[in-house]
Structure 1
Amino acid sequence: MNQDEAIYGALLGGAVGDALGLPYEGLPPARAARMLGSPDRYRFFFGWGMVSDDTEHAALVAEALARSAGEVQAFEQALVQGLRGWILSLPAGLGWATLRAGLKLVLGVPPYRRGVFSAGNGPAMRAAVIGATVSRQEQILPLIQVSTRLTHTDPKAEYAALAVALATYLHKTAPLDGVVFLKQLQSLLPHHPAATELLTVLAGAHQHALRGGSTFAYAAELGLHSGVSGYAYHTVPAALHSCFQHPRDLMTAVMEVIVCGGDTDTAGAIVGGILGAGTPLPEGWAQRLMEPDLNPAGLRTRARRAGLAVATGQADQQRFGRPEGRVPRNLLFLGIVLVHGFRRLFPPY
């Protein structure tokens, strides 16, 4: 894929994984299977899919890359502005750490007090588009550090996001090779106990995938019987396991991680983002996303502008729409989410 197609693929693959996984979020795998069946089609709203904060954040990162041309300080300023607008658009279902950090951004809290100490999935769900956009590996780390520390200050959140961005970067040019990935990741990570822990877990995921074990079985080995949690060192290894096992089959990889249960929209978005940068999305999946601007056309525009800006070093200051324009959509989304929540009060359990 060329650069624009890699960025677009990461955004669209992430959106499809997010939309497929969203109805299953928070359900244990056994109950999800009984209640919803296989994640082989959109089940959010009468055969249509909608995206959550996972895709919204990926789009914000693409916009920040376009408005900064990848320059780190300008990227931070642009992402701060984007996150402020996003919080004011009344999003539903965002993580607690991201919500607290976002409110601090809105209130103008100084940079050194913005993030909260959390190893949640927020930074990882923003990471694939960075890996898809940069042209040199050394560009990844400073951008990931900025993106992570705005909201999460636990090093584990940063290291997990770095793993996602690197996997995406490598998959742009060749199917993801676990051996190459682990070697490159080790060279980027510092000497820190949390980094060693992540490398150990990811090496285990790679070996499990090589043996032909399913992602569901791998999650069970990690003790995640009720589903993949919102902890980055659970979600990212499960997502990468699915990528290691199905590097040429995006949709199988996405569906395999969703059936693990738990934080399914984020896990699906991460897998879709990584593999979408180098693996074409099968036709049809993009057509039933019920989104006013985060649809294929809107994501392609963001991808094109981000790619051009970073490649030329010329920032694109054109706005991608105003956050208040998403308020009606977000209220509709919240209503549908509440209907799903009410449905879960009833059998099958």
Structure 2
Amino acid sequence: MPQWYVAGRSSYGHAGYAAARARWSDPDMAQQRDLSGKHFVVTGANAGLGFAIAAQLASRSADVHMVCRDAGRADAARREIVERAEAAGVREPRVHVHLADLGSMASVRAFAAAFAEQNTALHGLVNNAGALFNVETRSADGREMTMAVALNGSFLLTGLLLPLLQSAPHGGRVVNVSSGGQYLVSVDRRDLLGEGNAGAAYNGTAAYSLAKRVQVELTKQWAAEPAARGVVFHSMHPGWAVTPGATASISDFVERHKHMMRDMEQGADTAVWLAIADEPAASNGRFWLDREEARTDMRLAGTSWSDEDRAELWKKCEEACGWAIRRGGEQ
């Protein structure tokens, strides 16, 4: 039985969440009850974990910026988030919808430019958008869609919003929502972005696993980047959560394990904690599960990335996205 599955059955479901919660000194994050005046961007916020993250932030009086692709679903989600915030005692919830396609670099650039015109600081960016496609799907830029969304969020959007994150008092936070799928992929130094996974050989699970691993490795690289100083970067594993996306893409797995899986709010908890709690600011570039630092590799699995691998990944991302970070006196 694979290590990830053994670990999953004991830790990734609702029982694992309950056991972890019992160890927390402030499980409800009461110290961060009022986030008035703080701005958070959440991608893929109209459903699933993104919706739960946005709803939690809005219920704490934050300015929540939902980045979604579909206007109708985004507006419906916004109404529900506002209703939940009002029920939590927020007098005038500040929840904003921004339409952008995370699969399109042009759309991401347009959103980032518009957001920068309207805001002077960003306290948190939660790169949550993502999906598993069982049939090969290409982005507007011709890249495999799962990887395109990962790169356009965890690299391009993060980079474009970096000045606003650095302008936030005490520095902003970036949270990359990964997955236990990242444990499944070994590093292929000849194809770090999975470009060979195409055509008849396409495997959606492999594409998803690699994209989620890339997010974890980019998190580490961002944390080590001198030009990103002042911003805290973390990635997280939400556990096995029942979401609309999971039900649609891995329905067999959900059906077999739904009795033990956690709900969306439990899956979203660590992402919210990383974005707003005090403790995560004391470290950088870590991977978390249920508010505790977790390993990024299973023992003897051969999945570890080296510093050289991450540096090469960064270079590939720069080339793929047509964006490079400014260092020192670069203009």
User: Greater strand share, 1 or 2?
Assistant: 2
Q: Which has the higher helix share?
A: 1
Same fold at TM > 0.5: no
TM-score (norm 2): 0.34
| TM-score when normalising by structure 1 | 0.33
Which structure is higher in RCO with an 8 Å CA cutoff and minimum separation 6? 1
